C-alpha cells in the first residue's frame, strides 16, 4: 500500500455501462478535486447537482456531487463522491480529469476500507465482514456477513480483552504487594475466578461456531459414477440450465465441471466428473483421475448408477471422509419397480425429474446439518478461530500457573490480551493486513 498522505480515487459502483457510476475520492486533496471539477465546494453531506468540467473547462457530465469532510466520513479522511452517468466514455473522462490533478492517483484493491480501518472507523473483524458481504452469494452468507459488519465479534472480543486487562491489573497489584501475603492473595483470587469464567465463555463461543467457517466456503457435492449413468443430466437438472454437455456416448465428460447453486440459502458447489472406468484413452484416464480426486475432497458424493444396469459398479475409495449416497438414475426406463438393484438411497429420473425433488430435499437437510447455525455464529474465519484458541490456551496456562508465581501468571495474561488485540487489529497485524485487503475489489 502507498502512503496515506496521497489522495486516491476509484470507481465504487458496478462495471460500466450502467445507469449511474459512483466515483469516490478520499484523501487530503479530495477538496481540491471537488473545487477543480465543480468550481465550488458543496454543502457537506448535501447532494449538489453540478456540471463537472475538466482542467480545460470542457464539460464532462451533469453529476450529483457529495462532500464529506473528515473525520466524519467512511474512511475518516476528506471524501468526495461523483454520481455520474455510467457510460464508459464518461468514466474515462472523469479518470483523466482526476488523474491530472497533482496528488491524486488510482486506488488499489481494498485501499478505501484499509484507510477506514487505520483511521479507527471499523475494526479488522468488521472489515472482513464487509469483504464477506460483498462476496456473499446466498442469503445465509449475507446474514452471516452482516453480523460481522455490525462488529458483533469485535465488540465481544474487546469486552473479553478489557476483562482480562482488569484481571491482569489485579495480578500486577498482587505483585506490588507481594511482601504482604494476605493482600496479594485477596487480589489474585478474584482474578483467577474471572480468568476461569472468561476461558469457559470463549470456549463456548468456539464450540457454537464450530461449523461457521463452512458457510463462507460452501458445501461441495461431487456427482460421480460409471460412464453414461446420467451425471451431466442430473447436474443440468439441479442447476436448471444446460451447464454440461449431454450425450448418449459414454465418456463425453472428460474434465471436471463446477456449478454454484443457492440451495435454500446455502451455498453449494456441484461437481460433474468424468465417468469412472478403466480406459486406455490417456485424456479420459486423466479425467477419471481428476474425478476420483475431487470425489475424495468433496463434502458429499452422489454415486450415480443406471437403474437398468444390474452389474453397476459400487463406489470404491470414493469420498474418503465424506458420505456417499447411492442414486439410481433412469428409473422411468425400468421395466418393473424395484429392478436394477436393491438398497439404493434414491431412485430418480434426471431426464424426467422423477424423484429429483426428494433428492433436493435431502440435500437441503444435509446442508442444514452440515452448516449448523453458521449464520448466527460469531466466528467465521480460520484467523478468528486460531487467535481465540491462542487466547484460551493462554488463559488455561494462567489458571494452571496459580501458586507458581504471579509474574508467570501476569505474562500469560499479557499473551491473551495480545491475541485478542490481533483479532480486532489493535496490535501487531501488519503481517496480515496486505493479505486481507488485497482480496477486496478496487473502490472498496
Binding positions are 24, 81, 121, 228-233, 247-253, 272-275, 444
Q: 329 in helix, strand or coil?
A: strand
Burial of 399 (0-12, 13-18, 19+ CB in 10 A): middle
Q: Tell me the residue ranges of DSSP E strands in 131-289.
A: 219-224, 257-263, 266-272
Q: 172 in helix, strand or coil?
A: helix
Please, what is the end-to-end C-alpha distance for the chain in angstroms? 14
**Binding site for (6S)-5-formyl-5,6,7,8-tetrahydrofolate, residues?**
24, 81, 121, 444
C-alpha dist (Å) from residue 375 to 40, 360, 362: 47, 21, 20
Q: 275 in helix, strand or coil?
A: coil
The one-character DSSP state at 375 is: G
Q: How far apart are CA 91 and CA 23, in angstroms?
A: 8
Q: 66 in helix, strand or coil?
A: strand
- Cell readout for 358 is 426428494
**Binding site for GTP, residues?**
228-233, 247-253, 272-275
Neighbours of 384 (CB within 10 A): 24
Q: Which helix (H) or strand (E) holds 357?
A: helix 356-371
Q: How far apart are CA 147 and CA 138, in angstroms?
A: 15
Contact between residue 215 and residue 370 where contact means Cβ atoms under 8 Å apart: no
- Cell readout for 180 is 504482604
The one-character DSSP state at 106 is: E
Q: 21 in helix, strand or coil?
A: strand
C-alpha dist (Å) from residue 151 to 27, 40, 65, 430: 25, 37, 30, 20
Q: How far apart are CA 238 and CA 230, in angstroms?
A: 12
Q: How far apart are CA 386 and CA 322, in angstroms?
A: 25
| Cα 110 from chain centre | 15
**Binding site for Mg(2+), residues?**
232, 253
Q: How far apart are CA 342 and CA 346, in angstroms?
A: 11
Amino acid at each position: 500500500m502507498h502512503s496515506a498522505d496521497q489522495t486516491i480515487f476509484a470507481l465504487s459502483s458496478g462495471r460500466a455501462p450502467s445507469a449511474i457510476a459512483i466515483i469516490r475520492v478520499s484523501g487530503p486533496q479530495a477538496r481540491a478535486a471537488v473545487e477543480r471539477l465543480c468550481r465550488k465546494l458543496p454543502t457537506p453531506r448535501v447532494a449538489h447537482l453540478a456540471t463537472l468540467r475538466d482542467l480545460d473547462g470542457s464539460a464532462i457530465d451533469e453529476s450529483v456531487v457529495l462532500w464529506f469532510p473528515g473525520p466524519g466520513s467512511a474512511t475518516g479522511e476528506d471524501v468526495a463522491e461523483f454520481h455520474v452517468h455510467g457510460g464508459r466514455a464518461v468514466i474515462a473522462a472523469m479518470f483523466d480529469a482526476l488523474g491530472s490533478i497533482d496528488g491524486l492517483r488510482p486506488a488499489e484493491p481494498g485501499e478505501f476500507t484499509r484507510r477506514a480501518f487505520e483511521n479507527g472507523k471499523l475494526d479488522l473483524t468488521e472489515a472482513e465482514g464487509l469483504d464477506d458481504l460483498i462476496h456473499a452469494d446466498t442469503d445465509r452468507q449475507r446474514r452471516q456477513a452482516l453480523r460481522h459488519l455490525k462488529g458483533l465479534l469485535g465488540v465481544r472480543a474487546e469486552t473479553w480483552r478489557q476483562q482480562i486487562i482488569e484481571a491482569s491489573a489485579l495480578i500486577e497489584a498482587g505483585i506490588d504487594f507481594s511482601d504482604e501475603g494476605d493482600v496479594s492473595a485477596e487480589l489474585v483470587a478474584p482474578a483467577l475466578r474471572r480468568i476461569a469464567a472468561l476461558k469457559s465463555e470463549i470456549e463456548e463461543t468456539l464450540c457454537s461456531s464450530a461449523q461457521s467457517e463452512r458457510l463462507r466456503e460452501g458445501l461441495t457435492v461431487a456427482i460421480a459414477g460409471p460412464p453414461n449413468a446420467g451425471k451431466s443430466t442430473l447436474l443440468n437438472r439441479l442447476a436448471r440450465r444446460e451447464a454440461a454437455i449431454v450425450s448418449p456416448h459414454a465418456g463425453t465428460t472428460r474434465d471436471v465441471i463446477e456449478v454454484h447453486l443457492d440451495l435454500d440459502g446455502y451455498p453449494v458447489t456441484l461437481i460433474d466428473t468424468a465417468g469412472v472406468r478403466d480406459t486406455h484413452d490417456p485424456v479420459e484416464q486423466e479425467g477419471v483421475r481428476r474425478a476420483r480426486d475431487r470425489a475424495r475432497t468433496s463434502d458429499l458424493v452422489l454415486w450415480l448408477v443406471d437403474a437398468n444396469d444390474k452389474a453397476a459398479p459400487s463406489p470404491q475409495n470414493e469420498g474418503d471422509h465424506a458420505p456417499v449416497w447411492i442414486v439410481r438414475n433412469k428409473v422411468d426406463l425400468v421395466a418393473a419397480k424395484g429392478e436394477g438393484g436393491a438398497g439404493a438411497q434414491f431412485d430418480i429420473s434426471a431426464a424426467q425429474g422423477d424423484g429429483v425433488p426428494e433428492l433436493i430435499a435431502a440435500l437441503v437437510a444435509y446442508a442444514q446439518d452440515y452448516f449448523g447455525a453458521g449464520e448466527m455464529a460469531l466466528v467465521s474465519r480460520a484467523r478468528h478461530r486460531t487467535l481465540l484458541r491462542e487466547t484460551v490456551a493462554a488463559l488455561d496456562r494462567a489458571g494452571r500457573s496459580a501458586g507458581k508465581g504471579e509474574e508467570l501468571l501476569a505474562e500469560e495474561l499479557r499473551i491473551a490480551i495480545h491475541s485478542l488485540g490481533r483479532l480486532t487489529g489493535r496490535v501487531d497485524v501488519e503481517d496480515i493486513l496486505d493479505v486481507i485487503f488485497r482480496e477486496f475489489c478496487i473502490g472498496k
